[in-house]
Amino acid sequence: MNLIDRMANIDRRWIFLMMGLAVGIPIIVIGLTGRTLPEKATPLAQAAFDVLDDLDPGSKILMAWDFDPASEGELGPMATSFINQCARKGHKMYFIALWPVGAQMIRSSTSRVIGGYYPDLVYGEDWVDLGFKAGNEAVIKTIVTDFEQYFPTDARGTAVGEIPMMSGISSLADFDAIVNASAGYPGSKEWVLYAATPLKMPLVIGCTGVQAPQMYPYVPIQVQGLLGAIKGAAEYESIVNNWVRRDRMREALETGGVPDAKAETLAADFLSEPGAAATWTTGTEAASMTPAAKTELITLATEPTPGIFLEAQRRMGPQLVAHLLMIGLIIAGNVVFFATRRRGGAR
């Protein structure tokens, strides 16, 4: 029996085993090493980042978490990175949910990111959880003109009049941008049709893979940034992580007495070559920095990114290898098919 015959009669259990290894090995390797595959951002992911980055610090961002645990694998990393960018930029975050379990997703993401990495943010002044409201798109249509009608209190039962950051919020038009993480209805399409389009507001969407094709026609007029599935999440995650690291290094350099323009350039250099930070601190340019500041700079340049901000990139590893295996099997199957047909025809 030649190779073609062996491939044509291969036991399907070998294919199952190969797929299991294709998924399992990358998970184990990434888990042990902490290293992820590099992500090259597409224009849509970069645009999503730019929308929030171009706004002045202190801008009011409505964060609508319209998903549940079933879609958390795709949308959870997006939600984490959205909060990470907004918190670092200094935006004020207003969380709402049109899905019942969305309230749980708000609590989960804010406790992990804000509670774990931005403890200096004050509830009611820097971020607020307004909770879930039933009504689907009726909620959006109403808050376009009267926000307090649906949200008279926050998720903790505190009247909005007693929450400092709710001062001046009377309608959806008082926000500077909308960020929506959506797994279906009600979600992205409703925010496009009933909020972003009539108000001409910047809208950034993170959605599941099956929902993304429905959103592409709205780009770039009604939707300025779009993240589709885990791939879009990984790209955006990479952009945000690099920006946060660079910004923290720039801040450390400026605090140490390095001029603003020079600090920006050095931070970008250290981002691309982390080992250069240790060498630079021994030179004359770093003379104004204290030993503690130098140590902090080296740590910022070389320390690994916390795992919470790498979830999407970690999940891309097994997905990539599994997809490559599938492509290889499809090609092999076609080779066997045509080879067998040709041999049969010759007889």
**If you write DSSP's letter for every residue of 166-197 in order, what string do you get?**
GTT--SGGG-SEEEEEESSSSSHHHHIIIIIH
Phi, psi of 326 (to 5 degrees): -60, -45
Q: What confidence tens digit (pLDDT) does each residue in 53-66 have?
A: 999 999 999 999 99
Cross-strand pairs, 225: 204
Cα separation, 81 vs 55, in Å, equals: 17
pLDDT at 116 over 50: yes
Cα-based distances in Å from 309 to 109, 224, 315, 345: 11, 23, 12, 57
Tokens for 179? 């960020």
Give Cα 71 to chain centroid, integer Å: 14
Q: What confidence tens digit (pLDDT) does each residue in 65-84 have?
A: 999 999 999 999 999 999 99
pLDDT (mean) for 245-263: 93
Tokens for 121? 């943010």
| pLDDT band, residue 8 (cuts 50/70/90) | confident
| pLDDT band, residue 346 (cuts 50/70/90) | very low
pLDDT at 200 over 90: yes
Cα separation, 14 vs 137, in Å, equals: 49
pLDDT (mean) for 248-265: 92
Q: What confidence tens digit (pLDDT) does each residue in 203-213 have?
A: 999 999 999 99
pLDDT at position 1, please? 59
Rounded mean pLDDT of the chain? Answer: 94
pLDDT at position 306, please? 92
Q: Give the residue from 185, 97, 169, 109 showing the smallest Cα distance to 134.
A: 97
Parallel/antiparallel/unpaired status of strands 127-132 and 92-97 = parallel
Q: Which domains does the chain have, with CATH numbers?
A: 43-238 (3.40.50)
If one compares 139 and 8, the residue with the highest pLDDT of the two is 139
- 130: enclosing H helix or E strand: strand 127-132
pLDDT at position 235, please? 96
- In the sheet that holds 92-97, the strands lie side by side as 127-132, 92-97, 60-66, 177-182, 203-207, 225-228
pLDDT (mean) for 33-60: 93
pLDDT at position 4, please? 81
Cα separation, 44 vs 162, in Å, equals: 38
